[in-house]
Every structure is written in structure tokens, then in C-alpha cells.
């Protein structure tokens, strides 16, 4: 185990591959993670068992999605009513399920993407989240679009905002999205190395910079509404020995002040290090769950990951 952080934000972190799977099972790729109101942990994988559900101790409770024909699972989130929202960027769609895996709603025409960078829903969406205030659904349409789309709780399209670029209100990979209890919308604008904050009507309010490619964003609704970020590595081969460039987890308050950064070393599998945090979730105790892909596209010069290795990690908050 490794100790990360300080003060009220101190965590114990083990090595890779948190959670116990049935014999013969594999995550293959842990693309995303979500935690519901009962502290059940939903891991969205690219293997034969797309959604694997664990308790907070890492015991496998159930799985579902085996018959759903997912193409490329990407983002997952738990709504306040414990609905589970799965985003498949290969299907260009958003699906809403019950906690047991019964399909309730689909957004988008599966397998039929909108034109690249057209601004229309969807072309390789990355993540979706439900507003805890009114049940509205926000979709990050990130890989081949530069838009955020808003739907009402019944799945009726309302409006969209955003365009490609680096200025405020523009995006360079809308990768993850979160909404707080006051309705503010937080966007992980990954390749612009920032988080942007918008009103519920899509009006730009603020940007927080000095990020290491924020890939995952989640709000701790049940706690102090801090913002948790999963950040990719931001180095390249020539400065691969550098520190404090990610991959890491950062915790910020709602004003954008950094409370703590967890992880200072280059990519690696040992306790206290990450490969490439891609999704993030927080439970009622303040424990953090991180879904990782094997590495960022730059690769790792130090302690390189095995090709194809994907991990889950848990950071347990010390009291």
C-alpha cells in the first residue's frame, strides 16, 4: 500500500487490478466506473461482461450487458435514482439502464453517426450524466464532435453548445461531464488541459487551467461537492522522467482551488502510481475508484505497461 495526499485528503492506494472476478473473467479494458447510492461499483468494460458490479470491498455482485452488443464502451455514470447511463462511442449512442441492467431509454440512432464536427448528435460521444435537480441528461459528444447536448428527463432533445477550438466555450475533446446540486456543469476539456464550467443553459462561466489532460470528472454529491479529476499523463518521450505531469487524481473545490493532487510519478503499476486514469467515481465514504486504460497515447518510458493491460484501482480515504 502507498499513502497519497495529506491532512483531510489522505488515501491508501494499493496496486493494480482492484476487485475479485470470477475465474476466467477479465476486464479487458476498464473504460469507466460509477458508484450508486448503495455504494455498488459499476465498471464498464470492453470484455465479454460489459458491466461488472462490485460491492465496496471488491466482491463481484453481478454482471449485465452481455446481450447488448456494445461496440466500444466508453463512459458510465450513476443517476440520483440509480439509473446507469452507458455511452458507447462505437455505437454513437447513450443508453439508460436500471441497476439490474434492464434498458430504459436510448438516445441517438445506434450505428448511424452524425457528420464529423457537424455539431449534431452524435459522433463518438464519450460520457453522459444526469442533473440531480431536474433529471436532465447532458451528453459529452467528444471524439468527432465538439459539443455538449442537453435532453430532458424523458429523453427529448433541448439544445446544444460548443465548437472546436481553444477559446472559452470551445472544446478539444469533450471527454467527461459532471453536474453539481446547483446545476453548474463541469466539462473535462481534455486536450485543452482544462475544466470549463457552464450554467445549465450552456453559458460559459469559468475555466480552470493547469491540468494534466483531465479525462474523468465527477462531483461528490453526497459529500462536500468537491470535484474529482482523473488525469492522463501530459509528458512526451523527451521528458518522460519528469514528475508532477500526471497521470494522477486531483481534488478541487467548487471554486476551482486544488485541494490535493494524488500521484506524482510517471506511469506505472506499483501502488501510488497510475497508468492512465480514464474514469473516476466516489462513494459515500469518500473512497475513490479509478478505471484505467493501459497508457496514454504517448506511451510510458519508465515502467512501461504491458500492452493491453487495463486496471481498476481504489484509493481508500483515511479518517
What's the rounded Cα separation, in Å, for the pair 145 and 173?
Answer: 8
Collapse the DSSP code of 38 into the 3-class scheme (helix H, G, I; strand E, B; otherwise coil) and give the result.
coil
Angstrom CA distances, 165 to 61, 173, 193, 229, stand at 43, 10, 12, 22
Query: Phi and psi of 244, rounded to 5°?
Result: 60, 35
* Other C-beta atoms lying within 10 Å of the C-beta of residue 159: 10
- Locate 287 and state its grid cell: 473512497
Query: Phi and psi of 130, rounded to 5°?
Result: -105, 135
Angstrom CA distances, 291 to 31, 163, 212, stand at 6, 28, 17
Cβ(32)–Cβ(75) below 8 Å = yes
User: What is the predicted pLDDT for the residue at 17?
Assistant: 86
Share of the chain above pLDDT 70, in %: 95
User: What is the predicted pLDDT for the residue at 5?
Assistant: 96
pLDDT tens string 227-260:
999 999 888 888 888 889 989 999 999 999 999 9
Cβ(101)–Cβ(50) below 8 Å = no
pLDDT tens string 263-315:
989 888 888 999 889 999 999 999 999 999 875 544 444 444 445 556 899 99
User: What is the predicted pLDDT for the residue at 309?
Assistant: 54
Cell 514528475 belongs to residue: 243
pLDDT tens string 17-51:
899 999 989 888 899 999 999 999 999 998 899 99
- Locate 304 and state its grid cell: 512501461
Question: Count of domains in the chain?
Answer: 1
pLDDT tens string 86-139:
999 999 999 999 999 999 999 999 999 999 999 999 999 999 999 999 999 999
Residue 160's domain comprises 2-317
Which CATH number characterizes residue 120's domain? 2.120.10.30
User: What is the predicted pLDDT for the residue at 35?
Assistant: 98
What's the rounded Cα separation, in Å, for the pair 197 and 195?
Answer: 7
Collapse the DSSP code of 237 into the 3-class scheme (helix H, G, I; strand E, B; otherwise coil) and give the result.
helix
- Locate 82 and state its grid cell: 440509480
User: What is the predicted pLDDT for the residue at 96?
Assistant: 98
- Locate 109 and state its grid cell: 440512432
Q: Look over the chain and give the mean of its residue pLDDT values, rounded to a whole number.
A: 92
What's the rounded Cα separation, in Å, for the pair 216 and 33?
Answer: 10
User: What is the predicted pLDDT for the residue at 304?
Assistant: 47
Amino acid at each position: 500500500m502507498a499513502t497519497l495526499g495529506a491532512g483531510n485528503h489522505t488515501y491508501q492506494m494499493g496496486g493494480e487490478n482492484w476487485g475479485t472476478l470470477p475465474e476466467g473473467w477479465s476486464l479487458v479494458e476498464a473504460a469507466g466506473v460509477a458508484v450508486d447510492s448503495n455504494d455498488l461499483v459499476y465498471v464498464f468494460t470492453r470484455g465479454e461482461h460489459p458491466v461488472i458490479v462490485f460491492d465496496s470491498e471488491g466482491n463481484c455482485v453481478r454482471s449485465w450487458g452481455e446481450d447488448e452488443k456494445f461496440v466500444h464502451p466508453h463512459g458510465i455514470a450513476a443517476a440520483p435514482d440509480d439509473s446507469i447511463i452507458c455511452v458507447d462511442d462505437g455505437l454513437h449512442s447513450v443508453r439508460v439502464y436500471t441497476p439490474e441492467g434492464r434498458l430504459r431509454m436510448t438516445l441517438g440512432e445506434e450505428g448511424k453517426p452524425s457528420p464529423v464536427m457537424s455539431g449534431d448528435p452524435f459522433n463518438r460521444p464519450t460520457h453522459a450524466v444526469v442533473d440531480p435537480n431536474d433529471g436532465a441528461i447532458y451528453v459529452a459528444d467528444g471524439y468527432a464532435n465538439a459539443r455538449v447536448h442537453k435532453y430532458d428527463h424523458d429523453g427529448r432533445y433541448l439544445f446544444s453548445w460548443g465548437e472546436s477550438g481553444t477559446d472559452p466555450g470551445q472544446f478539444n475533446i469533450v471527454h467527461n461531464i459532471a453536474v453539481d446540486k446547483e446545476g453548474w456543469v463541469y466539462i473535462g476539456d481534455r486536450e485543452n488541459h482544462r475544466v470549463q464550467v457552464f450554467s445549465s443553459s450552456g453559458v460559459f462561466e469559468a475555466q480552470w487551467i493547469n491540468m494534466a489532460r483531465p479525462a474523468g470528472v465527477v462531483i461528490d454529491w453526497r459529500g462536500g461537492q468537491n470535484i474529482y479529476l482523473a488525469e492522463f499523463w501530459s509528458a512526451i518521450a523527451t521528458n518522460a522522467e519528469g514528475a508532477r505531469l500526471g497521470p494522477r487524481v486531483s481534488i478541487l473545490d467548487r471554486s476551482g482551488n486544488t485541494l490535493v493532487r494524488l500521484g506524482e510519478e510517471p506511469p506505472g503499476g506499483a501502488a501510488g502510481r497510475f497508468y492512465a486514469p480514464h474514469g473516476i467515481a466516489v462513494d459515500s465514504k469518500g473512497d475513490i475508484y479509478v478505471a484505467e486504460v493501459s497508457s496514454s497515447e504517448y506511451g510510458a518510458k519508465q515502467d512501461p505497461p504491458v500492452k493491453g493491460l487495463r486496471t481498476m484501482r481504489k484509493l481508500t480515504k483515511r479518517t
